[in-house]
Amino acid sequence: MFNLKDEVVIITGGTGTIGKAFSRALLDAGAKVVLWSRGITVPINETVKELEKSAKTENSIFGYSVDVSDKNSVKKGLSAVIKDIGIPTVLINGAGGNKGKSSFIDADMKVFEEVLKMNLLGGLMIPTQILASYWIDNNLQGSVINVASAASYIPLSGVWAYDAAKSAVLNLTMGAAKEFAPYGIRVNGIAPGFFIGHQNRDLLYTDFEKKELSPRGQSIIDHTPYRRFGRTEDLKGTIVFLASQKASGFITGVTIPVDGGYLVDNI
């Protein structure tokens, strides 16, 4: 049920912390994994080499330089995957992140637009439009997994555009699921709680090397019933479950929080 040997999975933002965690889980389950990234924070070939070491089979991890907020770049990326590897069956929309933090009044509109564009246009709309239209035109089934956040349900303070974009990810996961169901295309989401990534490290730690939490980092731990940040292994089971047609083939429009209980914390 959890064997993914016939799947070709594209992961956008694949060189990031969460993208790599997804990659490891999917490789373990036998999938071919394709990373799409701009390669700005971490070079793509470095990540591919690192993941090759943990891959059980040869020729199962690939990387392409793709800017997901640029339609032409995504189209080119898709043609390359089809030519070099095979027909993609799963798209994981993992590209995204936040930039800084401010009061509502001081929110810089240029940064606001950048964050919306990264998480919503590149992080969901453009790759989904291109993959879904390819599947529909070729009479193929497929599956999309969006990466939502705790911010999709409850706003995180000071990160206005991130909150706006991630709540839209939750909404569009449901809307797109209904739209694509007649074509056999599933659309689901995973909502990680707090995992240390490049994008949030400086918000959660005052000194990452010394593991000194910022007041915000401490507050998150205090509001997480499991009393810790997420570990990347925590995401493995959910991503394999959602990617597996056999395990979750009748599930669409659903987003699963993986957050140590953050969303159910109460007094």
Ligand X SMILES: NC(=O)c1ccc[n+]([C@@H]2O[C@H](COP(=O)([O-])OP(=O)(O)OC[C@H]3O[C@@H](n4cnc5c(N)ncnc54)[C@H](O)[C@@H]3O)[C@@H](O)[C@H]2O)c1
> Which residue ranges make up the site for ligand X (CB under 6 A)?
12-13, 15-19, 37-38, 40-41, 66-69, 94-97, 118, 122-123, 147, 149, 192, 194-195, 197-200
Of 19 and 63, CB closest to ligand X: 19
Least distance in Å: CB of 49 to ligand X? 16
Of 63 and 197, CB closest to ligand X: 197
Least distance in Å: CB of 251 to ligand X? 20
Of 95 and 172, CB closest to ligand X: 95
Nearest Cα neighbor of 101 from 41, 50, 162, 47 is 162
Distance between CA 64 and CA 76 in Å, rounded?
10
Of 160 and 245, CB closest to ligand X: 160
CA atoms within 13 A on the CB side of 169: 39
Instruction: Determine the number of helices (DSSP H) and then strands (DSSP E) in the chain.
Output: 10, 9
**Interior CA angle at 60 toward 18 and 89, to 5°?**
75
Least distance in Å: CB of 130 to ligand X? 13
Least distance in Å: CB of 198 to ligand X? 4
193 strand-pairing partners: none
Of 108 and 202, CB closest to ligand X: 202
Distances (CA, A) of 9 to 4, 90, 191, 193, 226: 9, 5, 19, 23, 31
Distance between CA 70 and CA 92 in Å, rounded?
17
Least distance in Å: CB of 185 to ligand X? 21
Q: Report helix, strand and coil shares of the chain as percent, to nearest 5.
A: 45, 15, 35
Least distance in Å: CB of 5 to ligand X? 26
Of 66 and 185, CB closest to ligand X: 66
Provide the token pair at 258.
Answer: 């993986």
Q: Which residue is nearest to ligand X (CB)?
A: 16
